[in-house]
Every structure is written in structure tokens, then in C-alpha cells.
Amino acid sequence: MTIRITAEEMTQRSRDIVHDRKHIEGPMLPILHALQAEFGYVPDIAKQVIADELNLSRAEVHGVITFYPDFRDHPGGRHVLKICRAEACQSMGSDDLADRARRLLGVDFHQTTPDDAVTLEPVYCLGLCACAPAAMLDGEVYGRVDEHCLSDIVGRLNR
Amino acid sequence: MSLIHEIDYGTPASRSENQVTLTVDGRSVTVPEGTSIMRASMEAGIQIPKLCATDMVDAFGSCRLCLVEVEGRNGTPSSCTTPVAPNMVVHTQTNRLKDIRRGVMELYISDHPLDCLTCAANGDCELQNMAGAVGLRDVRYGYEGDNHVRSRNNGEMNARWMPKDESNPYFTYDPSKCIVCSRCVRACEEVQGTFALTIEGRGFESRVSPGAHEHFMESECVSCGACVQACPTATLTEKSVIAIGQPEHSAVTTCAYCGVGCSFKAEMRGEELVRMVPWKDGQANRGHSCVKGRFAYGYASHKDRILNPMIREKISDPWREVNWEEAFSHVATEFRRIQYQYGRDAIGGITSSRCTNEETFLVQKLVRAGFGNNNVDTCARVCHSPTGYGLGQAFGTSAGTQNFDSIEQSDVVIVIGANPTDGHPVFGSRLKKRLRQGAKLIVIDPRRIDLVRTPHVEAAYHLPLKPGTNVAVMTALAHVIVTEGLFAEAFIRERCDWSEFEDWASFVSEQANSPEVTESFTGVPADLLRGAARLFATGGNGAIYYGLGVTEHSQGSTTVMAIANLAMVTGNIGRPGVGVNPLRGQNNVQGSCDMGSFPHELPGYRHISDDATRETFEKLWGVTLNNEPGLRIPNMLDAAVEGTFKGIYIQGEDILQSDPDTKHVSAGLAAMECVVVHDLFLNETANYAHVFLPGSTFLEKDGTFTNAERRINRVRKVMSPKNGYADWEVTQKLAQAMRLNWNYAHPSEIMDEIAATTPSFALVSYDYLEKMGSVQWPCNEAHPEGSPIMHVDGFVRGKGKFIRTEYVATDERTGPRFPLLLTTGRILSQYNVGAQTRRTENVTWHSEDRLEIHPHDAEQRGIKDGDWIKLASRSGDTTLRALITDRVSPGVVYTTFHHPGTQANVITTDFSDWATNCPEYKVTAVQVSPSNGPTEWQEDYNDLSRRSRRIAGKMEAAE
């Protein structure tokens, strides 16, 4: 079930989050992580809040958010599956793995299953090149992911 | 004539005093330490290929085209980010470099449209030039792959493609042509300081984004044009260039808007103006501009412009177009008749702060030598006359003490009663740049102006005083500095009169002037004020910048003296980075004052009663001058109402809209028998005129403007006057019709006369200005190169004078009927009464005047944002729409005065500065109440305007 909150509530909660962190050195990234942890994404209205509180322009905040693919501008699924697409993994068959993941979930990269359960995303290197191909589910990494392993991971998801 | 090409050195100049010698391609070159290899090469005449570098912004090193080889070093460093070193040996062209550059260009061009022939930048495209420079002959990657260029790829939508953004009225953004060099982003940040642009995404997805992926008009963009100027391709292009094509010749001229006096290249095709581009060698603006000077010149060819002289017997008649001869002889006959009938003093003239020095000089000469009286005044009466008086008393000269470059060395800046980011935007940008480098800011203003807090700039102190209490706050600052022993004793002993200082110090030290006592009526918390005073006194180079929020008060002159006191007591006079700096409102308000526009002063601020000065002019002009000061504008209007003043020649000023107490002005004008208005448009004053003489724009004449830093800048004619005559010619022909023997063939001859009669201009001539670019007066034997900083070795008057500044509350008080205080100001996109900017696309930003009111005051009155409200004072009432904001404090309301429909000056009172009659625009007690439409006055006035703008034989023009 999705809990909807009003724009005012979201602005207020964003403001509280920014307020608590604005005095640490280099506050922008901790703020963005906290916002994403709170809402599942960085809401558009938070850009103006961050800009106001940190005395930056809206453009600068937008530039930082869009630089990092991990910050989303809309909610993702309850789980996030990332398939590594970097060189080492590609050489060990991650293209096939990616195709398999697409078929299993019925979505393309950057898309979420219709039941909001899983978002599929590419990632460029998880630092697991020795165990390529690699994937990551909700922050937990998996090495030498073959088709069985992938089915296993997807099958275990709480859909 | 040809197009002026400015050299782009690629990176900004280094300020170092240490010189470094290196060899570039076998040539030896010596440059300051810290200079980039790229700039050093350009100084040696070697242009290294580049795309992301331009000398208006810092080096970035992203395009990888400017690579060089340095003997003894590995790799191929980028020449823009690599500083020179002693004895370095640089090669800019080797086989290795050629291959790399060609490869980089291939990648750029593989994602760029190939529509060069029909592209707006054709002929002015750095990408095209660089493709030529590196010898690009083939793109091996083809054009079929992933790209930002085509809206569809192989029949499918291309998600990377973005449509052109045409939301800004003056330029377009075409992302498909963007090479993501970041020059626009950096120009917006480093030069303009707005930070409206960013690069969104990364890698191949990188695009320039205004705001958070918004249209330019929705973003924070202020349309200064710096990004357009920085863009090396057609991505950001002036719409005028798209419509017309590339210019073929250009001339350097001076902007005719505010007192910053920016230098521009007027780029032309034939007699058509293609665009105005800020000139990098302009010493006031250093290559920067604002939305007005850069883009808002469309008024010059607006359909409302009147091009033929017109006459009418009564102001209720329609206008009748006549030829110039008839107009001149009519005015001459009427003026002589009035003088015969009512006396020599029954006519007068008003000079314009918008016209050139030469034109202003002629109008005052016409009045003094032709009319035979001293009834000449100028609009500086209603803006900076207290500056002239106050600084004249304290320092001995009526002008700002610094050049604009001085701000680069300031450590603490006080901005009082000015809003530079709106009123003087180019100076505002230069100030913000210095603040981002760490200088501290103190804002003294009833309203939270942008500078108080804007991206990367935050005032150390904002003292939100009640309107009308400037003197008390300034004196309280001095109280803290004196009583806490923070004054610059050595400076004062050397440069000022010590006994006067002691007298003044005992006055400011009185308990009544302490911040704890003044807090009760200024509204400024004592601890804030003490903090600000300590910061200013101890923070290093302290500079004070002020505007009309200081002068347009009943104690305007007193506040100017208090500012002078504050600068002297802290020793902040006579060197770069300090000083007292009035931000003059109009392009030539400084010049119009210098040129003897006041009834009591001849050119160069010399009193009319001074026999020697009068004799200089009498000899040259062959007349006897009246040694009694003439009438000021308000006195002329009073005399008109009394029936003793009957004729006036008004050049380039709209006194009905810009002067206080509109009803009194209209009554005065209505009582006259011959009102001659010389202007571009049928302005509001022309509603009461009998003769209309069409004026010419700054593009249509030669002359000079003097800006707020006393800089005499050339204005150059780039097109023939659409009305037939430049304004100086009109005045000359009018003088000739009045039997004066004037025969100036060119404005340079008028400047020669000014130089011959006015010591502070002694060396100024058009030849000299051609050689020097511009000079700051005084420019004479003692200061042959002009005077960027004044009072360097001592004050002009000898010893600096400390003057007691007793606070006297204005007679304009709030009470139960009028509980709120109204103060006025301006906005970035509009200029003064708006006669010009309202006739440009600038109305897109500001189509009406709004009343800013605090949420608390609005709620009490049941007013919601956007509601029509009635604004009433003891003088009159008007209606406009409300804007609810906490920029103003409770009890204070604020509006602009750019639109004639609002008639904000119906509200203002006729209280004025005690010394100079400068009206008290900045304080009016008002009441605000809900309303559902225009007031009776507004309706009557609109009706009168419509009737009085009829021209016989022409369809009624819709405004």
C-alpha cells in the first residue's frame, strides 16, 4: 500500500531533513541520501528547499542530483536489482544476464514492475570484477551470478 | 568601417607583479606569473585551438583541444589550465597534437548538426573555426549513432533530443547544437553571479539546464546575456541575429540606461542594429551587461515614437503635425511673447539626464544666454541633488570618490538605500563577485533586497530600518565607532580638521545617538547595529555604496553628510577599495549636474554669483549673465500656479511622472501658455504640452555620457536620426530661431567649449577620448590621465569637514488614518518611468507595478495575493495589485513606479530635502484597503491621456 503525503508535508519533512544536516561540512550529499531514504526518491520540491537552506541556486542542486544515477526523481520499487554492465562483467556474460533479468521481471532497465515490487537498474562496476558477472539486490552484492542464481534471487523476492 | 573583433586570450589576465619568460614555438614571451600557456601564446600572437576556454571565465580544461607539448614534461597538458614557468619551452603544433586535436574534433562533430549554411552562427561560430583550424576532413564515426541532433532516429523518437527553448524574448537555446563546453554555466556563475545554469546528467547525457530542467523564463535566469556572449556555437543565440543575420560593422558606444555607463559594441548591418554586445575594454563594465543595455533597445524603433514636430493651441486640441521650421519659429515667437508680456523670468528650461553632456550644456546655455535668466534645472533635483550638496560640503566636490574597479579591493561594503542587483545590475554582479571572494556586506534597507541573501552571497548584517530614519542609524553607527575608540585617529589628524572632529565626536557620543536609544524609533536592534559598526570600522577597506533610498528624504543631504562622516572617521577615503559611492540612477545624471544644470551653478559646480566664472562665460558668449540663482523645478511649478511663470522647454524628461505630487505638477503645467516637450514619445508631461519636438536616441547621435564614477564615455552615432535631427541640433536650431548666433557643426566643438570654460574638463576632447578610451574627471594639467580615485593626497576642499547630523523626524507621519509607510524602488527589467523599457519585450518580466505588503498587514485588511487594492495617502490615491511577501517588514509597503497607469507619485507628498528640495519619495504614510477597480483620478487621467494624444489625420494609437 502506498502512503500518500501532501506537498506541504513533504516540503516540511524535507526542510527538517535539510535543517538537521546543513551544518556538516559538504552537506549536499548527506542531505540527498537522507531524502532518498525518507521518500524513496529525491522529490522535485526538495530542490528549492535545499537551495534555500544552503543558499544555492535551484540549478546547482539539480546539477548535483542528476550527476548521480543513484538519486531517483520518482519512487522506485520496494526492491532494487542492479546488474553490473562494466567491462569485466560484460566479458563474463553480463549482457545475457541482463536479458534474462529483463525477461524474468518483464521490465527494461530503469523500469519498475507493475506491482511496484522490483526496479531493475544497470550499474557500472560493483568492485567485484574477480567474481564477475556481479549483481546487487537492495545493497547486498552477489558474485558469479548465473541463470540459476538469478532465478533464485528473483524468486525469493517478496512480491 | 568594419566589425570590431576583440582578442580572446582564453583565460583571465594574471595580476601578479612577477614576470616570467618562456618560449612558445620559438618565440620568447614575457608574462605575469600565473598566466596560462594559452594566454601567453596569444600574447605572442599564436592562437592555440580552443573551445571551452574564453577570457571572461576561469580555465576549465574540458574540451581537450588546446593541448600542447612542453619540453621536459610528459604528456600533452591543456594550455588553458597549465600556468607558465620560467624558461619553459612550449610547442603548440606537433604531429602528435595534430592527431589528438583532429580526433577530438571528429567526436564533437559526430554529435553536431551539419546545417552550417542555414545556421544563425554561420560566420561567427568557434566550432566551425576550430574544425577549420585542426584540418577536419572526415568524421569516421558517421552520424547514425546515438545523438542529440535529430528528433527522430530511424523513424523512432530520439529521447536524447530536446526541442529549442524560445521562452526568453531575446535569445534561444537550442540543445541540439550544444557541445557542453560549460562556458554559459561558468559565465552565469562567475560573471553574472546568478547561478541559473548547470550541467545536468553526466557523460553523454550531459546537457545545459536552466534551473532544474526548466525553460529559461521559468528558471532563475535574469537575461543578462553573459551566456549568449560566451556560447561558441549557435546554441545560445540572439533572436535578432536569427532574424537579421551577422553584423558587418560596429562602433563602441555607451549604454543609455543606468549610471553604471556600460560600454557596448553596437553591431550593425547597414543602419539596422543587429545586437548590442558588451565591450571587454569598457572600464565600467569589463565586458558584462544587463538585460536592459544588452537587449532592451527596441524602443528606438517602436511605433509609438514620434518623428514629426507637432503643435496645438490648447492642450484639449488634437496635435497638428508641422515642419521643423514652423515648430522652431512658433516656439521662438511664443517664448519672446511670454517674456515681453510677463517678464524675462517667466520662462525656463529643464535639462535631461538622459541626453549627452553636450546637449545638456546647450540647454543651460540657451536658458542663461538666450532666455537671459537662470531658470534651469534637471531631474537630478529629484534624485541625487543631496549627493551634490552633501559631498560638496564634506569633501569639496560633488561626486563619488572611486572607480568601479575599486570594489575588487573592498573588504567591507555598506549598501544603504540602494538595490544594485536591480537598479545597477552590472555593478551588482561585480559586487557579488567580490563578496564571493570573502568581502563582508552590511545592508541598510527597510526591505530585504536580493543582496541580503542570494546564492553564494549573504549579508553579514541587514539593518531593516524604518523608512525615514537613515540619519539616526548612520549617526548611531558613528556613535559606536567613536565611543568604542574604533576611529582612525591618524587619518583624521592628518586629513581632517581635528577641532571639527572633536565637536562632531562629542555630538555623536551623546546618549541620544546610541543604538540603544535610537532602536525605539529606527526599529534596528542595538546589538545588530553595534556589530555592523564594529565590522565596518575594523574589517579592512570599507566602502559605502548608496542610492536614492538615501537622498530622496527630507533629510537626504544630512544622510549624505553622515555617510561622508562615517567614511572619514574610519579612514576610508583616498585609496582603492574604500570611498563614498553614490549609485547614480540615469546614464548621464552625473554629467547633467557637471554641465551646470542647476539654477545656482555654472558648469563645473561654480556658483553663479562668482564674478570670475561668470566673466569666463560672458566673454565667450557675448552676453551679460544674471548673477542671481534662478528657479528650481518645484519653484517653477509654484510660480506657474501663481501666474508668473508661463513657458518651459523640457528636454528628455517626464516630470509629470517622475516628480512628486502629480496633481501639483499637472496644475502647474496646465497653468502655462507654452509647454515645449522634446522627447522620443508622447510622454505623460506631453499631455500638457503645446509643442512637441521629436527627440533622437543614443544610437542616433555623437556625444558623451558621464557615469557614476565620473567617467566620460563616448556615445557614437550608428544610424541617422529617424526624426531628422540629433537633440543637440534641435536645441541649436531653436536657439538660432531665437536669434542666437550658434554654429556648432559637431558635438566635439561643444566639448571643446566645455573644456575651455571648465577647469575639471580642461584636457577633455574627442581626440583625447579616442586615444584614452575614456577618462574620469577631473582631467586637467594636474591630472592628465583623469582621476580614478579622488582625494588621494588630501581633500579637494583642503581638510575634510565633519558635520553634525542631527536626526529630525520627517513631517510625514503615520497615524490612525494612514498607518503604513510606503517606500518605492525599481526592478531589474524596467527603467525609471518605463518610457523606454515598457516599449520593449522587457514587459515580459514586469507587466505592472505591484504593492509589496507583509502577510500580517495583508491579513488584517483581508487582502490576498493578487487582489486589487486601493493605496491612499494624504495627497491622493491609486489602485494596483498586491504582492504578499515578507521582504518588507510589518508596517512597511513597497512599490515600483514603472507604469504610468499606477501613478505612484499621485500618492507621494510634497515634502522635500531641506537643502536641495529633493522630494521625499521614500516615505509616505498610507492606508491600504481592498478595491475593485481604478480610482476616479486614474480614470480621469486615462481619459485625458487618450484625448491629449490625438494627432489630426491619424488613427488613434492604442497604447
A48 and A83, same domain (yes or no): no
For residues A12 and A51, membership in a common domain is answered with yes
For A53, which residue in chain B has the nearest alpha carbon? B455
**Predicted pLDDT of residue A108:** 93
Q: B309 pLDDT exceeds 50?
A: yes
Do residue A63 and residue B220 have CB atoms under 8 angstroms apart? no
Q: How confident is the model at residue B830 (pLDDT cuts 50, 70, 90)?
A: confident
Rg of chain B's alpha carbons, rounded to an integer? 29
Strand-pair category, B542-546 with B412-416 = parallel
Domain that holds residue A99: 79-156
The average pLDDT across B699-706 equals 96
pLDDT tens digit sequence for B597-653: 999 999 999 999 999 999 999 999 999 999 999 999 999 999 999 999 999 999 999
3-state helix/strand/coil string of B67-94: ECEECCCCCCCECCCCECCCCCEEECCC
Indicate the residue among A32, A47, A67 that finishes a domain.
A67
Residue A60 is assigned to a structural domain of this protein: yes
Residue B58 near residue B83 (C-beta atoms within 8 A): no
Residue with cell 548666433: B741
Give the CATH number for residue B438: 3.40.228.10
pLDDT of residue B51: 97
Contacts of B916 by beta carbon, 8 Å cutoff, 6+ apart: B381, B385, B386, B388, B389, B556, B557
CA dist., res. B423 & res. B414, Å (int): 16
E strand segments, B831-891 = 850-853, 868-873, 877-884
Out of A25, A47, A67, a domain closes at: A67
* Cα A70 from Cα A61, distance rounded (Å): 15
Are B227 and B256 in a shared domain? yes
Give the whole-angstrom CA distance, residue B772 versus residue B55: 23
Using a pLDDT cut of 90, give the percent of chain B over it: 84
> From chain B, which residues contact A within 8 Å (Cβ)?
194-202, 209-213, 219-220, 453-458
The span from the first CA to the last CA of chain B, in angstroms, equals 38
Are B595 and B672 within one domain? Answer: yes
B220·A58 Cβ contact <8 A = yes
End residue of a domain, out of B282, B301, B320: B301
Residue-level pLDDT at A3: 61
Does residue A135 belong to any structural domain of this protein? Answer: yes
Q: How confident is the model at residue B824 (pLDDT cuts 50, 70, 90)?
A: confident
A74 part of a folded domain:
no
Q: Kindly tell me if the per-residue pLDDT of A139 is higher than 70.
A: yes
Q: Is B863 left (phi over 0), alpha (psi -120 to 50) or beta?
A: beta
Residue A137 lies in a domain: yes
Of the partner residues A60, A61, A67, the one whose CB lies closest to the CB of residue B202: A67
C-alpha grid cell, residue B244: 537579421
Write the DSSP string, B350-372: EE-SSS-HHHHHHHHHIIIIIIS
Three-state secondary structure readout of chain A: CCCCCCHHHHHHHHHHHHHHHCCCCCCHHHHHHHHHHHHCCCCHHHHHHHHHHHCCCHHHHHHHHHHCCCCCCCCCCCEEEEEECCHHHHHCCHHHHHHHHHHHHCCCCCEECCCCCEEEEEECCCCCHHHCCCEEECCEEECCCCHHHHHHHHHHCCC
- Of the candidates A44, A55, A63, the beta carbon closest to that of B198 is on A63
Instruction: Judge whether B391 lies within some domain.
Output: no
Closest CA to B309 of B655, B682, B685: B682
What is the span of the domain harbouring residue B944?
820-948
Tell me whether residue B12 is in a domain.
Answer: no
**Cell digits of residue B48:** 592555440
- DSSP symbols for B144-197: -SS-SS-SEETTEE-TT----B--SSSEEE-GGG-----HHHHIIIIII----E
For residue B342, how many C-alpha atoms fall within 13 Å in the half-sphere facing its CB?
Answer: 21
Do A53 and A87 lie in one domain? The reply is no
Minimum Cα–Cα distance from A48: chain B residue: B212
Instruction: Compute the Cα dihedral for B78, B83, B89, B92 and give only its sign.
Output: positive
Do the Cβ atoms of B195 and A61 come within 8 Å? no
pLDDT at res. B659: 81
Interface test with A, best of B213, B219, B448 (most A CBs within 10 A): B213
Say yes or no: A12 and A53 in one domain: yes
Give yes or no: residues B457 and B573 share one domain: yes
Q: Which residues pair with B320 in a beta bridge?
A: B311
CB-based contact B213 A60, cutoff 8 Å:
no
Contact B197 A59 (CB under 8 A): yes
pLDDT tier for residue B65 given thresholds of 50, 70 and 90: very high
> Does the beta-carbon distance from A57 to B202 stay under 8 Å?
no
User: What angle separates helix B611-621 from helix B747-757, to the nearest 10 degrees?
Assistant: 150
Are B659 and B760 part of one and the same domain?
yes
- Would the CB atoms of B209 and A59 count as touching at under 8 Å? yes
Q: Which residues contact B635 (CB under 8 A, 6 or more apart)?
A: none
**Ramachandran sector of residue B808 (left: φ over 0; alpha: ψ -120 to 50; beta: rest):** beta
User: Domain for residue A119, yes or no?
Assistant: yes
Average pLDDT, chain A: 91
Q: Which residue of B has its CA nearest to A55?
A: B455
Q: How far is B197 from chain A (nearest CA, A)?
A: 6
pLDDT at B833: 79
Q: pLDDT value at position A156?
A: 79
Instruction: Please compute the mean of the pLDDT values over residues B559-588 and round it to a whole number.
Output: 94
DSSP letter at B314 equals S
Is the pLDDT reported for residue A2 higher than 60?
Answer: no
Residue pLDDT, tens place only, A10-62: 999 999 999 999 999 999 999 999 999 999 899 999 999 999 999 999 999 99
Q: Are residues A53 and A113 in the same domain?
A: no
Q: Are residues B195 and B316 in the same domain?
A: no
> Are residues A58 and A108 located together in one domain of the fold?
no
Tally of structural domains, chain B: 5
**Residue A1, in any domain of the structure:** no
Chain B residues touching residue A55 (CB < 8 angstroms): 453-458
Chain B residues touching residue A62 (CB < 8 angstroms): 198, 200, 209, 211-213
Residues A143 and A93 reside in one and the same domain? yes
Nearest partner of B853 among B904, B929, B936, judged by Cα: B929
* The total number of structural domains that make up chain A: 2
* Per-residue cell: B224: 543578462
- What is the reported pLDDT for A159? 55
Mean pLDDT on B807-813: 87
Looking up residue B676, the CATH number of its domain turns out to be 3.40.50.740
Tell me the Cα Rg of chain A: 18
Same domain, B869 and B889: yes
Answer yes or no: is pLDDT of B958 > 50. no
Q: Are B646 and B559 within one domain?
A: no
- Residue pair B840/B295 in contact by the 8 Å Cβ criterion: yes
Q: Is the pLDDT of residue B902 over 80?
A: no
DSSP B849: -
Smallest CA-to-CA distance from B610 within B828, B759, B472 is with B759
What's the pLDDT at B956? 52
Residue B739 and residue B838 in one domain: no
What pLDDT score was predicted for residue B831? 84
CATH of the domain at A142: 3.40.30.10
Q: How far apart are CA B709 and CA B590, in angstroms?
A: 9
Q: Are residues A95 and A42 in the same domain?
A: no
* Angle subtended by helix axes B526-538 and B515-522, to nearest 10: 120
Give B-chain residues touching A61 at CB under 8 angstroms.
212
For residue B889 the three cell numbers come to 517588514
Same domain, yes or no, for B406 and B526? Answer: yes
Close Cβ partners of B880 (under 8 Å, ≥ 6 residues apart): B848, B849, B850, B851, B868, B869, B871, B895, B902
Let me know if residue A2 belongs to a domain: no
| Adjacent-strand bridge partners of B951 | B319
Whether residues A54 and A104 share a domain: the answer is no
Query: A70 to chain B nearest CA, in Å?
Result: 12
Q: Give CA–CA dist B450/B880, Å, rounded.
A: 23
Grade residue B944 by pLDDT with cuts at 50, 70 and 90.
confident
pLDDT digits (tens, 9 = 90+) for B311-366: 999 999 999 999 999 999 999 999 999 999 999 999 999 999 999 999 999 999 99
Same-domain pairing of A28 and A50: yes
Closest listed residue to residue B84, CA positions, set B18, B133, B8, B26: B18
ipTM, two decimals: 0.90
Q: What is the mean pLDDT of residues B29-43?
A: 97
pLDDT at B832: 81
Could you tell me if B370 and B433 lie in one domain? no
Average predicted confidence (pLDDT) for chain B:
93
Co-location of A92 and A136 in the same domain: yes
Give residue-wise pLDDT tens across range B24-35.
Answer: 999 999 999 999
**B161 in a domain, yes or no?**
yes
Whether the model clears a pTM of 0.90, i.e. scores above it, the answer is: yes
Do B556 and B562 contact (CB within 8 A), yes or no? no
* pLDDT(B933) > 80: no
Give the integer Cα–Cα distance in Å for B430 and B577.
Answer: 13
Residue B320 lies in a domain: yes
Cross-chain Cβ contact A58/B194 below 8 Å = no
Q: What tens digit of pLDDT does each residue of A78-123 get?
A: 999 999 999 999 999 999 999 999 999 999 999 999 988 999 999 9
What proportions of chain B, in percent to the nearest 5, are helix, strand and coil?
35, 20, 50
Is omega for the bond preceding B855 within 30 degrees of 0, making it cis? no
d(CA B37, CA B35): 7
Residues B420, B352, single domain; the answer is: no
The reply to whether residue B199 touches residue A63, judged by beta carbons under 8 angstroms, is: yes
Per-residue cell: A154? 528473483
Quick check: A59 and B198 CB within 8 A? Answer: yes
Specify whether A86 is located in the same domain as A114. yes
Q: Is residue A34 part of a domain?
A: yes
- pLDDT tens digits, B430-487: 999 999 999 999 999 999 999 999 999 999 999 999 999 999 999 999 999 999 999 9
Instruction: Kindly determine whether residue B456 and residue A61, on different chains, have CB atoms separated by under 8 Å.
Output: no
Cα–Cα nearest to B852, from B831, B821, B876: B821
In the predicted model, is pLDDT for residue B742 greater than 90? yes
Q: For an interface test with B, which of A42, A60, A71 has the most B Cβ atoms less than 10 Å from its Cβ? A: A60
Size of interface A-B (CB pairs under 8 A): 55
> How would residue B959 be classed by pLDDT, with cut points 50, 70 and 90?
very low
Domain boundary among B580, B603, B627: B580
Confidence of residue B76 (pLDDT cuts 50, 70, 90): very high
Residues B625 and B767 in one domain: yes
Give B220's contacts in chain A (Cβ within 8 Å).
Answer: 57-59
State the smallest CA–CA distance between residue A54 and chain B in angstroms: 8
Strand partners, B889: none
Final residue belonging to a domain, choices B275, B301, B327: B301
Among B194, B202, B213, beta carbon nearest to A62: B213
